[in-house]
Amino acid sequence: MACSLARIVLLSLCCLMSTTVMASEPADAERQAAKAAYRRPETIPFPLDDPYTAAKATLGEQLFFDPLLSGSGTRSCATCHNPGLSWGDGLPRAIGENQVALPLRAPTLLNVAWIEVLGWDGKFRNLESVAFGPLLSPGNMNTSETQLVERLSAIPGYASQFATAFPDDGITRRTTEQALATYERTIVSAPAPFDRWIEGDEAAIDETAKRGFDLFRTKAGCAECHRGWSFTEGSFYDIGTAEDADIGRGRIFTNSPMLMHAFKVPTLRDVARRAPYLHDGSVATLAQMIDLYDSGGIDRPSRSELIKPLGLTDEEKTALLAFLATLTSDPTPVPTPILPR
C-alpha cells in the first residue's frame, strides 16, 4: 500500500516537471534534455577477473593507508592520494621517498573505477597494474616485492585477512594488487549541488552556474572531452598547454602525431578543491585554466582541433567558473582505517 502510494506521488511529480519543460523556452528544453547525460550511475563497475568482495576492499583500504608499504616506512598511497585533498596532494608535482619531486602531479583517484587505462599518458592497462608502479619506483615508495611480502607476512592481522580474502593464494604481488584495486574502485565522488540539480532540484545551483553548464556544452566546447557525470571518459588530447619536454601519450604511440603532448582528460569532480592543475601542476587557478582555453593554447600539429580561441566574455568566464564550483561534493570526511600491527 505504502509502496503504490509512493509511486503515485512520483508519477505526479513527473507530470508537473514535464509541464514546466513544455511551458518554457526552447533553450530551456534543450538544457533539460542535456541533463540526462549527467546522471550519476547507480553501481560501481568491477571487472570479472577481480570482482568485489568486502574482505578484499577492507584489506585494500588498510594497505592503501599503511606507510609500511614504502621502503622507509614513512609514506603510504594516501600520502599522495590524500582523501582530505580530494585524493590528490595539493602539490604541483608529487614528492617521493627521497624528497625529490616526481615529473608528474598526483592525479585524484575519484571515480577511477570508470577509467579504463590509467596514468596521465595511459601507460597502465588497468587499476591492478598501477600499484607496483609507485611501490617499486626508487623515486616514489622504493620497496621491493620481497620486502613487501615479508613485511606483510610478519603481521598476523594481514596474514589472516589475506587468507580470508584470497584463500588459494595468500600474500603475493597479485593479491596485493587486487586488494588495492578493489578498494580504489570504491573511491567515488560524493554528491554535489550539480547532482541535486540534475535530479530536479532547480534551487540547488544558481542561474549563473546553469548558464555556465550551457556554455560548457556549447560555445566553450568543454563537454566534447569532459564527458558524462564524471566529466571524463578517459581519452587523451593535446590541449596546447605549456611547452615542456613531456610528450605524454606520444611516448607510447610514437607513430601517432596527434598523440604528441596528449594527456588524459581528468575528471572535473571536486575540481575547485584540487589546484594546482594539469599533469605538471603548471596552472595555479581555475580562472587561469579558463583563460588558457579561451586563448586556444599553443598552435602545433598535435593540438586537438577542438582547442581554438573561444572569444569568451568576462561574464561567460564567470559563468563557467560558477558551474565548475557546483561539481565540488559536500564535505564528506573519510575515516582512516585502524592498521593491523
Calpha distance 225→198 (Å, rounded): 20
Residue 11 or 257: which CB sits closer to ligand HEC? 257
Of 300, 313, 302, 268, give the one whose Cα is nearest residue 286: 268
Torsion sign across C-alpha atoms 164, 169, 170, 175? negative
Calpha distance 7→2 (Å, rounded): 9
Residue 18 or 256: which CB sits closer to ligand HEC? 256
Whether the Cβ atoms of residue 112 and residue 81 lie closer than 8 Å to each other: no
Calpha distance 254→245 (Å, rounded): 15
Q: Which residues contact ligand HEC by CB under 6 A?
A: 69, 75, 77, 79-81, 94-96, 102, 104, 106-107, 109, 112, 115, 118-120, 123, 127, 130-131, 134-135, 140-141, 180, 184, 220-222, 224-226, 237, 239, 241, 263, 265-266, 268, 271, 274, 277-279, 286, 289-290, 293, 304, 306-307, 320
Whether the Cβ atoms of residue 173 and residue 132 lie closer than 8 Å to each other: yes
Residue 20 or 285: which CB sits closer to ligand HEC? 285
Residue 200 or 258: which CB sits closer to ligand HEC? 258
In whole angstroms, the minimum distance from the beta carbon of 157 to ligand HEC comes to 19
Whether the Cβ atoms of residue 275 and residue 298 lie closer than 8 Å to each other: no
In whole angstroms, the minimum distance from the beta carbon of 77 to ligand HEC comes to 3
In whole angstroms, the minimum distance from the beta carbon of 293 to ligand HEC comes to 4
In whole angstroms, the minimum distance from the beta carbon of 264 to ligand HEC comes to 6
Task: Indicate the residue type of 34.
Answer: A
Residue 131 or 198: which CB sits closer to ligand HEC? 131
Whether the Cβ atoms of residue 279 and residue 104 lie closer than 8 Å to each other: yes
Residue 198 or 283: which CB sits closer to ligand HEC? 283
In whole angstroms, the minimum distance from the beta carbon of 51 to ligand HEC comes to 18
Cis before 167? omega within 30: no
Distance between alpha carbon 296 and the CA centroid of its chain, in Å?
Answer: 24
Calpha distance 85→92 (Å, rounded): 13
In whole angstroms, the minimum distance from the beta carbon of 10 to ligand HEC comes to 35
